[in-house]
Amino acid sequence: MIVRNSEENIRLGADIIKRGGLVAFPTETVYGLGGNSLDPLAVAKIFEAKERPSFDPLITHIADFEGLERVALIEDRRILKVAEKLWPGALTIIVPKRDIIPSLVTSGLETMAVRMPDHPTARELIRLSTGAVAAPSANPFGYLSPTTAEHVEESLGNRIDLVIDGGTCRVGVESTVLDLTRDIPTVLRPGGIGVETLRDILGDVEVLDRTSLTPKAPGQLPMHYSPRKPLHIVDSPADLPRIRPERTGVLSFAGEGDLQGFAAVEVLSSRGDYLEAASRLFAALHRLDRADIDVIYAQRVPAVGLGAAVMDRIYKASEK
């Protein structure tokens, strides 16, 4: 059931989470499928609802810095250095966990993922419930991430106790996952915060190679974020195949090139703005996936700033 994000409904959601239920809620990145991070049973329900393999650890969402102290060990000075600058925000950090966090949340790892989302509804829900809400993106495993309450309702509605509607997600791609347990801070998943911003704060920052054979973040598994339709990447608009354009959808960055004749065309940002492109990406892929076409061609997006996260998601959408 979708409800609007009134104080009363957020309170209702918080009670559901306290009792071990599941509530989908808006964040600035994508909608999360939330359950009490301190309750292994609630966490198991999340995996079940998503049909997510349990080897894929979850992000614990917190409302404030006291919440961080309660769940994680924060001796490493780099943690507060980066968190105080970028939280609340689209950054998830990997840090050593405290015992209060069940190992199901972290898939047995001694480290955990933690994030303070930049959305008043999310933080209020976390604060009013248990202060620690485990939440993956609110989509079935491997499918596109949701950026509206309707996306959630369509794919998971009957498996969740409540969907809180907070409108369209502002950022539109998931948070950047930064591993601070390594000597050199390492981006495991590109996302809403660019690596340039991280380097300004932390100095040297590595970016895990997507093709690495032993992904540390299962979000790195290529089959994530896939539409059901086959999606292929083309380098330039000129490479768009003209075979059966009436059965073909195009995902275009800025609408450049000749897009006449294609059955469905989604332009991410006609002014070539990466932020706008990121915020529209998943909704555009959802529409293409529902369109009466056989195949999607996505034009390559320059990997600058948020463009890197957009391209990463397009790349993953292309894998089957």
Instruction: Name the segment binding Mg ion (CB under 5 A); options: 105-113, 135-143, 188-196, 303-311.
Output: 135-143
Alpha-carbon gap, residue 208 to 220, rounded angstroms: 9
306 binds, among ligand TXA, Mg ion, none (CB under 5 to 8 A by kind): none
Interaction between residue 151 and ligand TXA (CB under 6 A): no
Residue 88 binds ligand TXA, judged by CB under 6 A = no
Measured from the CB atom, is 137 or 279 closer to Mg ion?
A: 137
136 near ligand TXA, judged by CB under 6 A: yes
Closer of 59 and 74 to Mg ion (Cβ): 59
The b-or-e profile of 239-257 (16+ CB within 10 A means b, else e) is ebeeeebeebbbbbbbbee
Binding ligand TXA by CB under 6 A: which of 45, 115, 151, 313?
115
Where in 38-57 is the site for ligand TXA (CB under 6 A)? 56-57
Binds 57: which of ligand TXA, Mg ion, none (CB < 5-8 Å by kind): ligand TXA
Size of the site for ligand TXA (CB under 6 A): 29
| Residue 79 vs 113, nearer CB to ligand TXA | 113
Tokens for 97? 């966990």
Tally of CB atoms within 10 A around 296: 25
Letter for the amino acid at 96?
Answer: P
Q: Which of 29, 31, 42 is nearest to 5 (CA)?
A: 31
Smallest gap, in angstroms, from Cβ of residue 44 to Mg ion?
A: 17
Task: Closer to Mg ion by CB, 74 or 105: give it.
Answer: 105
Contact 3, 152 (CB under 8 A): no
Binding residue for ligand TXA, selected from 49, 135, 144, 250, defined by CB under 6 A:
135
User: Any contact of residue 58 with ligand TXA (CB under 6 A)?
Assistant: yes
Residue 147 engages ligand TXA in binding (rule: CB under 6 A): no
Please, which residue, 65 or 181, has the CB nearer to ligand TXA? Answer: 181
Maximum distance among all alpha carbons in the chain? 59
| 216 touching ligand TXA, by CB under 6 A | yes
Nearer to ligand TXA, 46 or 296 (CB): 46
In the complex, minimum distance from the CB of residue 86 to ligand TXA, in angstroms, rounded to a whole number: 13
List 137, 248, 252, 318, residue binding Mg ion (CB under 5 A): 137
Residue 174 CB, nearest distance to Mg ion (Å)?
6
Does 111 help bind Mg ion (rule: CB under 5 A)? no
Pick 274 or 297: Cβ nearer ligand TXA: 274
Q: What are the residues binding ligand TXA (CB under 6 A)? A: 27, 29-30, 32, 56-59, 92, 94, 106, 109, 111-113, 115, 117, 135-137, 174-175, 177, 188-189, 216-219
Q: What are the residues binding Mg ion (CB under 5 A)? A: 137
